[in-house]
Amino acid sequence: MQENENPIAESAVSPAPVPAEPPARATLWGALSWARDLVFSVLIAVILIVFIYQPVKVEGTSMMPTLTDQERIFINKFTYHYGLGNIVRGDMVVFWYPLDTSKSYIKRIIGIPGDIVKIAGGEVYVNGNPLMEDYVPDEYRDRVSWGPERVPADRYFVLGDHRSSSNDSRAWGFVDRKYIYGKAVFVYWPLDKMGPLR
């Protein structure tokens, strides 16, 4: 018994040829598509830079060895600004220098509001407990003592990782919450140090 053949299936695999667009029209359409994609990409980049991530250059040695002079990093401005994340101990934050708000500093959060911070011979204590600071090699420590002092409401105690080379809360006091505008999250230059920050 011979099976019935389906002539529609045979002809469906060979669609009618589509007439080619005139060369000028195809070129114009391609240029418009390229311009649209470019505008969209620029818009996304502007939104990311203005509202979420901002590239900054590190100047100075106060955060060595975590960050070195002239490194380029991204900071996240969105998390703190819109209250989606809390500032916690250990965060590396960018803020307006309290004694001259035309300058920005980057330091590490050591004490949050309500903490009692004490430094004894370079050893940091928070609420009576020694703070584990594996990001501070021994050769970057100093033997300075400070406090104890309680961190006031809406303020933070910050230190640089390079303790003997850092101008920080030990010298000029606490940072007001309103001055903190970003969290350091990623190194993008130099390439050999590219990666997330902790």
Identify the helix (H) or strand (E) that includes residue 25.
Answer: helix 23-47
SS3 12: helix
Nearest-angstrom CA–CA distance, 48 and 46: 5
Angstrom distance (rounded) from CA 91 to CA 181: 12
* Rounded Cα distance, 109 and 167, in Å: 14
Determine the 3-state secondary structure of 74 from DSSP.
strand
- Active site positions, annotated: 62, 107
